[in-house]
Amino acid sequence: MSKVDTIIAELEAISKNPKKAMDDFKAKTGKGAVGVLPVYAPEEIVYATGYLPIGVWGGKKQISKAATYLPAFACSIMQSIMEMEIDGVYDELAAVLISSPCDTLKCFGQKWKGKSPVIQFVHSQNRNIEASNTFMVEEYKVIREKLEKILGVTITDEAINNAIEIYNENRAVMRMFSDVVAMYPQIIDPIKRHAVIKARQFMDKAEHTKMVRELIAEIMKEAVVPYKGKKIVLTGIMAEPDELLDVFKEFDIAVVADDLAQETRQFRTDVPAGTDPMERLAKQWQNMTACSLATDRDKPRGQFIVDLVKKHGADAVIICMMKFCDPEEYDYPIMLEDFEKANIKNLKIEIDQQSVSMEQIRTRVQSFVEMM
Amino acid sequence: MYVLGLDVGSASSKVVILDDDKNIVSFSTVQVGTGSTGPARALEEVFKKTNGLKIEDMTKIVATGYGRYAFEKADKQISEISCHAKGIFHLVPTARTIIDIGGQDAKAIRLDSRGAVSQFFMNDKCAAGTGRFLDVMARVLEIEITDMAEYDSRASEVVNVSSTCTVFAESEVISHLSNNIPKENIIAGIHASVASKACGLAYRTGLEDDIVMGGGVAQNAGVVRAISRELRRPVIVAPNPQITGALGAALFAYDEAKKH
C-alpha cells in the first residue's frame, strides 16, 4: 500500500467511525467531546477547553421516531440527527452546540431529545454593520460562559487565540488540499476527497493538519497527467451518502472544487488577525461570503462558483440540492441564471441521506455526462 | 443492416428496429416495464412483426430507460434523456424544447439547433405529475386511462386538484366525486395538475419553440391541451410518442454500427 493510500485509509476510517475517534481522544486526553451541529460554530472556543469538537451532520438512518418532533419536510440531516438523539447516540457528548441559520435548526435547538446539555446561539444576518460584530461577540461570550460552566473549565483568551491559529492553519492546508486534488484527480477520487475533508470533523485539527500536509507532499511527488473524465465543481449543503460519490466515480467524474457547506465552506474563511479572540471570531462571520445561510444582498454565490469553474478548468457544476433545504432552494434560481449567463453546464440532483436507490441520480448523471 | 433500440421504462417496455436507411422496420410496446416479463415480450413481439428477423441479425443494440442495465444483450446503455432527445429531434427537427412524461418521471429537455441536449430538468422523487399519477386517478374514477382525454374534452370547467402529492390528490378527487362534481371536470383538473408539474420543469429550460411532447402520457390529448394552455404555446406531439426513447436508442445503435 502506498503512503498516499495509507494516509487516506486512516482518514477514511476516522471519517466513518466518529464514535471511535471520540473514544480514542478520551483515552488519550481524559477529556470528552462537544458536538457541533451544522452549519457554522466558533469551534475554536470548544477547542480551547481541551475537549474535542465533533461534527454532528446526521447519517444514513431509517427514520421513524423523529417524525414525532419534526415535520415531514425537515431536511434529512435534521431527521437523522433527531432519530439518533432519541436513540441516545449523542448522549456521551459533554455538550452540543446548535446554531440557528434556518427555520429547522432554529426550532431544533429548542427540542433536543438527547441527554447532553444544549448551547443554542444565533448568527446575525445584518452582517455588514458594526452592530453585527457586537452582537456576535455577545453570543460567543454566552457560549464561552456556558461551556465553562458545563465542562468545569476556564477558557482563557490565550487558549482561544491559540485555537484560532491551529484552525487557520488547518483551513489553509485544506484549501491547499482541495487545489491539489484538482491537479491530481486520478489519485484522489470523489470518495477519497470527501473522506479526507470529513475526517477533520472528528479529529484534533492539529493532527488532521499534520496528516493532510503529509498527504499533500506525497501526492505532489507524482506527475500531473491529463484527466480522461469530466471535472466538476460541487455546490450545496453536502454530497452524501457515499453511494452518490460512487455514481460520480462510475462515470469518471472528478470533483476539482466544491462550495459545499459541509466541506469547503467550513475552511474557506480564515478568522482575521487581532488580539481579542471573541472579536476575531465575530469578524469571521462578517467576512463569510457566497453562502445561502449568510445574508448577502449582492448574491455573489453564483459568480463565486463560476470563478471556481474557471480557476480549475472544470467542465460543469453539479448542484447537490439538499431535499427540503429552503435556503439552498432560494439560492438555486439565482445561481442558475449566473451559470446560464456564463454558459456553464449544470445539473441539479436531490440529496437525501436516507436514499436507498441511486437509480434516479445515476440516470441524471449519465445523461449529464452524455450532454457534456 | 438492422439495429435495435430497447427502452425499458418503469411502466412499459418499448422496442424499435431500424434498417439501413433509418426506416422503422418494426416496433412494439408492452405495458409492463423493468423487472417484469415486459422486455422479453416486447422483443418477441417486435420480431414477430418482421419477415423472420432474429436478435442475432441486429448489428448493434442500445438499451435505455430505468432497466437499461438489466438487458445483457445490449452493446451499450445510454440514458433516456439522450435517447428521447435523439428520437424526437429525428422525428421533429424543429424541436427545441421537449416535455417527456413517462410512467415514473417527467423531464424537460432543451435542444440546440443540432439536436444536442444543452439542459435538462427531471422531477424529484415524487409521483405527482407522472404517468403513475394518472394511473392512480383513473382507478379512483373507475375509468380506463385511455378514456381520460375524451372525458376531458367534455369538461365545462377545470376543478382544482393538488399537484404536490399523489395520495393527497387522490383524496381530493374522492372528495370531488362525493360532492357529485362531474368526472369530466375532475379529469380536466387532474390533467391541469400534471401539466403544472411538467411546466414547472419546462419553464426552467427557457421554453424555446418548437415544444414537442414525447413519452406515454403524450398519448393523452387532455394532458397535451392542459400543457399547451399552461404554456400559452402550441405543443406538438411526436408521432408514436411512447416509442421516442426506443427510437433514439435505435438511432444511437445505428451511429455505433456505422462507426465500425
Q: How high is the pLDDT of residue A108?
A: 85
> Could you tell me which residue, B139 or A170, shows the higher pLDDT?
A170
Report the C-alpha gap between A276 and A160 in whole angstroms: 9
Mention every residue, 6+ apart, whose C-beta is less than 8 A from residue A127. A285, A286, A288, A294, A295, A296
Q: Is B66 on the interface with A (CB under 8 A)?
A: yes
Size of interface A-B (CB pairs under 8 A): 41
Is A348 in Cβ contact with B125 (below 8 Å)?
A: no
How far off is chain B from A17, nearest CA to CA, in Å?
Answer: 30
Q: How high is the pLDDT of residue B164?
A: 66
Q: How high is the pLDDT of residue B83?
A: 96
Question: Per-residue pLDDT for B99 more than 90?
Answer: yes
Question: Per-residue pLDDT for B163 more than 70?
Answer: no
- In the structure, what pLDDT confidence band is assigned to residue B130 with cuts at 50, 70 and 90? confident
Interface test with chain A among B109, B122, B164, B167, by most A beta carbons within 10 Å: B122
Q: Are B3 and B17 in contact (CB under 8 A)?
A: yes
Q: How high is the pLDDT of residue B71?
A: 81
In eight-state DSSP terms, residue B208 is P
Q: How high is the pLDDT of residue A144?
A: 98
- Average pLDDT of every residue of chain B: 89
Class of domain A28-158: alpha beta
Verify cis geometry, omega within 30 degrees of 0, for the bond prior to A241.
yes
Domain spans, chain A? 28-158
Q: Is A363 on the interface with B (CB under 8 A)?
A: yes
Give the pLDDT confidence of B193-249 residue by residue, as tens digits.
Answer: 889 888 989 998 989 999 999 988 898 999 999 999 999 999 999 999 989 999 999
Low-confidence ranges of chain A (pLDDT < 50): none
Query: What domains are there in chain B, each with its CATH number?
Result: 1-92+239-260 (3.30.420.40), 94-237 (3.30.420.40)
Q: How high is the pLDDT of residue B61?
A: 96
Q: How high is the pLDDT of residue B72?
A: 84
Of B79, B121, B124, the CB nearest to A370: B79
- In the structure, what pLDDT confidence band is assigned to residue B174 with cuts at 50, 70 and 90? confident
Is B81 in Cβ contact with A367 (below 8 Å)?
A: yes
Interface test with chain A among B64, B117, B123, B252, by most A beta carbons within 10 Å: B117
How far off is chain B from A240, nearest CA to CA, in Å?
Answer: 17
ipTM: 0.80
SS3 call for A208: helix
Is A352 in Cβ contact with B105 (below 8 Å)?
A: no
Question: Which residue of chain A comes nearest to B107, CA vs CA?
Answer: A364
Question: Per-residue pLDDT for B178 more than 90?
Answer: no
In chain A, residues with a C-beta closer than 8 Å to the C-beta of B100 are none
CA distances from A106 to A38, A115, A196, A201, B215 (A): 11, 19, 30, 22, 44
Handedness of CA B239, B244, B249, B255 (dihedral sign): positive
- In the structure, what pLDDT confidence band is assigned to residue B140 with cuts at 50, 70 and 90? confident
- The reported pTM is 0.88
Question: Per-residue pLDDT for B104 more than 90?
Answer: no
Helix axes A359-371, B80-91, angle to 10 degrees: 50
Question: Which residue of chain B comes nearest to A365, CA vs CA?
Answer: B79
Between positions 291 and 350 of A, the ones with CB within 8 A of B are 323, 336, 345-346, 348, 350
How far off is chain B from A298, nearest CA to CA, in Å?
Answer: 23
Q: Residue A73 is inside which H or E element, if any?
A: none
| DSSP characters over B148-192 | HHHHHHT-SS-----SS-HHHHHHHHHHHHHTT--HHHHHHHHHH
Q: Is B89 on the interface with A (CB under 8 A)?
A: no
